Amino acid sequence: MSITSISLSYVFLGITIITIGFFLYFKTLLIKTSKNNDSRDKIIGNMKDPISWTHKNNIMSFISLFWAIVSLAIFIYLKFFFAAGLISIIYPFIYLALIVSSLLLIKTKKTTAK
């Protein structure tokens, strides 16, 4: 099964918007859990290891930003520089699997923040 490159470019634009949303979510969590913020106790509460939690959220935010930039670059390439044609539908699924696996790898990795 195939999809047109123009339609596929908008799939990557959607992925860009979603990953920017995740980036903003993780950065908001980090800002709200800073030492000076009043919301810190509500969010962290009785957490066992808030330092590694903060470290993981910081890494997740930068991974989300990375995938947003890559997705935006692919959108621009497909929209403006790629000749109209058909592309296999498997490629977006492989791309989404790479995104999910990179996020899960960080989530399951044991980190020791200093």
Per the structure, how many domains does the chain have?
1
Distance in angstroms (rounded) separating the CA atoms of residues 28 and 57: 10
Structural domain includes residue 113: no
Structural domain includes residue 30: yes
Structural domain includes residue 61: yes
User: Which pLDDT score, from 0 to 100, does residue 23 have?
Assistant: 95
Report which DSSP code applies to 35: T
Structural domain includes residue 114: no
Could you tell me the CA-to-CA distances from 51 to 25, 28, 81, 110 in Å, in that order? 18, 16, 44, 12
pLDDT in tens, the chain (114 residues): 888 888 899 999 999 999 999 999 999 988 888 777 777 767 777 777 778 778 888 899 999 999 999 999 999 998 888 887 888 889 889 999 999 999 888 777 665 555
Instruction: Record the pTM.
Output: 0.82
Structural domain including 13 reads 2-108
